[in-house]
């Protein structure tokens, strides 16, 4: 059997003007051409905007997901849901337990139990109450979307998450 020759790297011409990324040669940001309306169809550099990068404690998240953490599969689903819904600063995530249950395709009672367990473990922090409805945000020590200076300041006041959680 003959040895295969390695194929040279292929270069692909991509119209960077349609993707809103930066050009490697110059380091300049290349915005899509206004009014061009033409897209190249190449989605390798495509980014659905609207979100921001949030800093989060990877070691802490890893400990929540670890076996023996005291948190159930549904709890971990709820944490993942809140990671995706974190808003800038310390705003509450504007969803009810029923909406969380609907999004995660779990029973509302299970979502409520998980949210209560996560609140007992200081993973979810209650921010606002409207009658029987409580709105939560994630603990700043777990995830924060905002400036590092305000993150350090707020971390002084948020309680440390409890892992492993014991009942």
Comparing 156 with 97, which gets the higher pLDDT? 97
Lowest mean pLDDT among 7-21, 58-72, 127-141: 7-21
- Specify the pLDDT at position 5: 55
DSSP string, 61-80: HHHHHSTTSS--HHHHHHHH
Q: Which of 71, 75, 96, 93 is nearest to 84 (CA)?
A: 93
- Specify the pLDDT at position 41: 54
Rounded Cα–Cα distance for residues 2 and 18 (Å) = 43
- Specify the pLDDT at position 23: 54
Upper half-sphere CA count for residue 122 (Cβ side, 13 Å): 14
Average pLDDT over residues 146-166: 80
- Specify the pLDDT at position 32: 52
Comparing 50 with 151, which gets the higher pLDDT? 151
Rounded Cα–Cα distance for residues 119 and 30 (Å) = 44
Q: What is the pLDDT of residues 20-70, one digit of tens each?
A: 555 556 656 555 554 444 445 555 555 555 555 567 778 888 899 999 999
Q: Which of 76, 52, 53 is nearest to 63 (CA)?
A: 76
Looking at the predicted structure, is the pLDDT value of residue 163 above 70? yes
- Specify the pLDDT at position 16: 45
Looking at the predicted structure, is the pLDDT value of residue 13 above 50? no
Comparing 78 with 143, which gets the higher pLDDT? 78
Report the 10 Å Cβ neighbour count for 41: 7
Q: What is the pLDDT of residues 72-109, one digit of tens each?
A: 999 999 999 998 887 766 788 899 999 999 999 999 99
Rounded Cα–Cα distance for residues 36 and 45 (Å) = 18
Q: What is the pTM of this model?
A: 0.65
């Amino acid at each position: 059997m003959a040895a295969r020759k390695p194929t040279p790297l292929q270069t692909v011409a991509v119209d960077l003007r349609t993707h809103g990324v930066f050009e490697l040669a110059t380091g300049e940001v290349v915005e899509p051409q206004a009014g061009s309306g033409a897209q190249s169809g190449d989605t390798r550099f495509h980014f659905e905007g609207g979100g921001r990068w949030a800093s989060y404690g990877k070691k802490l998240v890893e400990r929540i997901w670890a076996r023996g953490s005291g948190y159930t599969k549904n709890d971990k689903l709820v944490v993942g849901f809140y990671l995706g819904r974190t808003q800038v600063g310390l705003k509450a995530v504007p969803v009810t337990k029923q909406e969380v249950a609907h999004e995660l395709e779990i029973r509302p009672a299970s979502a409520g139990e998980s949210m209560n367990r996560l609140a007992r473990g200081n993973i979810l922090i209650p921010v606002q109450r409207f009658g029987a409805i409580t709105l939560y945000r994630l603990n700043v020590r777990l995830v924060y979307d905002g400036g590092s200076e305000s993150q350090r300041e707020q971390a002084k006041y948020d309680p440390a998450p409890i892992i492993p959680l014991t009942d």
